[in-house]
Structure 1
Amino acid sequence: MWNEFLWVIVPYLVLASFIVGHIFRYRYDQFSVTAKSSEMLEKKQLMIGSLLFHVGIIFVIGGHFVGLVIPESWTAALGISEHMYHIFAVGIGSIFGVMTFVGMFLLTFRRLSNPSVRRISSTGDIIVNITLLLTVILGMASTVFGTQEIPGFDYRESISIWFRQLFLFRPDASLMIHVPVLFKLHILSAFIIFGLFPYTRLVHAWSVPLSYLRRRYIIYRKNPS
């Protein structure tokens, strides 16, 4: 029952919170979909941490998408062996994983250690920072130490299949029984993030100014007077 609860019921509760929360936020509080700037209070750590985190997390999410959504048979059909896939995933993933960790650590340290920044931070801001940092740490620990518990463990033969089954509404919780503990903790911490997503500053991710890519150039002219 505990296994069914964690890997069948909880994912759908998180998904429901994610969808309903976004609908509620858009209908009743859409003007708060932004991230309050604290650049005036401290700039150096914010600039470095934000750049590292945002660049790193884009590639980390992309790597998770490939590993979880694309079946192993598809990459094999393209001529990518399992050994080649894991070398590429671990090598490239580690680089961007470290970038994400350093960026998130700097942002979290800045928020907790700088009195001015901490003063304007809400409880939700602090929870989001700590949860994101914990999720990144658990993800890196899973990559480095996770397979020591079960030698030869391949998440594409268990976690990935279970993940895809969630969207087909027939998840098999038994696939998660023998998954290493670090992987499970990483997934559960990610559930917390997705569950909190609509109710925190994380929603500013949807306000990326993509329109800037296709807008006309703004020409600034010096006033001759």
Structure 2
Amino acid sequence: MNGWNQFLWIIYPYIVITIFITGHFYRLNHYPFSWTSKSSEFLEKRTLRWGSLLFHWGIIFVIVGHVAGLLVPISVYQGLGISDEAYHMMALSAGGIAGLSTLIGAFILMVRRFRVKRVRATSSVGDRVAIVLILIVLFTGLTATGTNAVGQTGFDYRTTINPWIRGILTFQPDASLMTAVPVAFKIHILAALSLFAVWPFTRLVHVFSFPLTYLRRRYVIYRQRRPSCERKSDKTVV
């Protein structure tokens, strides 16, 4: 069992990190024109508008919440005078709203991808795998957080998952930190790792394509071309 824990919480994360980094560089160098979000807006707009709005706004707050909760040591919050009760209340309320919004948006996008004929016809295997994994990650995350709050288990991920992740990123891994973690959180983490493993081979790469040049580019001016008869009439001298 100890060997299995070593694989899941040390070896597997580093395998995923390796694939995530090298996969992006390989795709960018060998298939640069595939680095796109493959927008399907012209195929169907109504469902996309709601799904994309809920998902993208929600995921921004979900990411910010994960960074604040998993990468910031608990001592920082204690130093700022934020009590454990206040932190968990804020995390549950704000994180719950953001997570639910993202989940609903992802579900709408998944249904659209599988049900709308034109969108389904232009979808790749990577597109389908990505949206399904995203949905699993969101669902398991909300389930783990919800069951932990309702059950009042007293489990605090800031003393277990938090230092485990920081240990992975600083090359000081400690699989023993994950021993007391509830199964629901472990499933959520493994699902997230699997998503990161397939990330470089899907449309998710567009997350790293920030259109910063738009901030300094000149406006594009569109002029209507008048019919030739109108141009001739302008030259007519009355």
2:187 is matched with which residue? 185
What amino acid does structure 1 have at the position aligned with 2:134?
L
Quick check: which has more Rg, 1 or 2?
2
Match of 2:168 among 166, 169, 191: 166
The residue that corresponds to 1:89 in the other structure is 91
- Offset at residue 216 of structure 1 (A): 4.2
Shift of 1:124: 1.0
Give the superposition deviation at 1:214.
Answer: 3.9
- CA gap of 1:150–1:10, structure 2 versus 1, over 3 A, is farther
Distance in 2, matches of 1:24 and 1:123, equals: 19
Q: Indicate if the aligned counterparts of 1:146 and 1:181 stay in contact, CA closer than 8 A.
A: no
Instruction: Give per-residue Cα distances to partners, 1:45-87, cap 9 Å, x unaligned.
Output: 1111011111110110110001111000011111111111111
Q: In structure 1, how many angstroms separate the alpha carbons of the residues matched to 2:220 and 2:38?
A: 25
State the partner residue of 2:130: 128
Output the CA distance in 2 between the equivalents of 1:171 and 1:58.
Answer: 28
Which residue type is aligned with residue 127 of structure 1?
V
Q: Normalising by the residue count of structure 1, what TM-score does the alignment of the two structures yield?
A: 0.94
How many residue pairs match? The answer is: 225
Residue 71 (structure 1) aligns with: 73
1:101-120 equivalence runs, <5 A: 101-120=103-122
Match of 2:6 in 1: 4
CA distance in 2, matches of 1:98, 1:108: 15
For normalisation by structure 2, the TM-score amounts to: 0.89
User: Which ranges in structure 2 are unaligned for 5 or more consecutive residues?
Assistant: 232-238
**1:142-174 Cα shifts (integer Å, max 9, x gaps):** 110135677100000000010000122121101
Kept after mapping to 2: 8 A contact 1:108/1:129: yes
Separation in 1, partners of 2:210, 2:152: 40
User: Which 5+ residue runs of structure 1 have no aligned equivalent?
Assistant: none
Aligned amino acid, residue 157 of structure 1: T
* Percentage identity across paired residues of the two chains: 49
Cα distance between partner residues in 1 of 2:91 and 2:166: 19
